[in-house]
Amino acid sequence: MTRRVIAQGTFDILHPGHVHYLRDAAELGDELHVIVARRENVTHKAKPILSDRQRRDMVAAIDVVTEAHLGHTEDIFVPIERIRPDVIVLGHDQHHDADGIRAALDSRGIDCEVTRASAREPRYEDELLSTGRIIDRILDRRGDD
């Protein structure tokens, strides 16, 4: 029996933190499906710079990803219902409430584990593991040009 894992996120500018999260998630199963949030659904932080398709295509290019999907425009649980995962892995710092997700899954008859990925610490002094910090550095270094 194939064990399916779902990871999800915005993945605006891919960085080592994203790769760590996806590798961590992939270790929990046989298939890793990644749901990439649509720009219009991102409300907890700044809207992504890159288009939905570009972000999905970049995530799909990561070797541990079986398939990358765009999120549903109206109901975030639609792709989850279609994929029928055994595990949903949240990023270590994602804003999602794991208990709230479990309750929503239960109400929809989806029986799967919800867990969090481990954190990845920077490996050298100036390594950036956040899209926001990458954008800040770009603006700091190139903003006056």
pLDDT value of residue 144: 67
- DSSP designation for 39: G
11: annotated binding-site residue? yes
10: annotated binding-site residue? yes
Domains of the chain (ranges plus CATH)? 4-119 (3.40.50.620)
Q: Which pTM value belongs to this model? A: 0.92
Whether residue 6 contacts residue 91, with contact meaning beta carbons closer than 8 Å, is answered with no
Nearest to 22 by CA among 53, 66, 54, 52: 66
93: annotated binding-site residue? yes
33: annotated binding-site residue? no
pLDDT tens, position by position, 85-116 = 999 999 988 888 899 999 999 999 999 999 99
17: annotated binding-site residue? yes
Query: In the structure, what pLDDT confidence band is assigned to residue 16 with cuts at 50, 70 and 90?
Result: very high
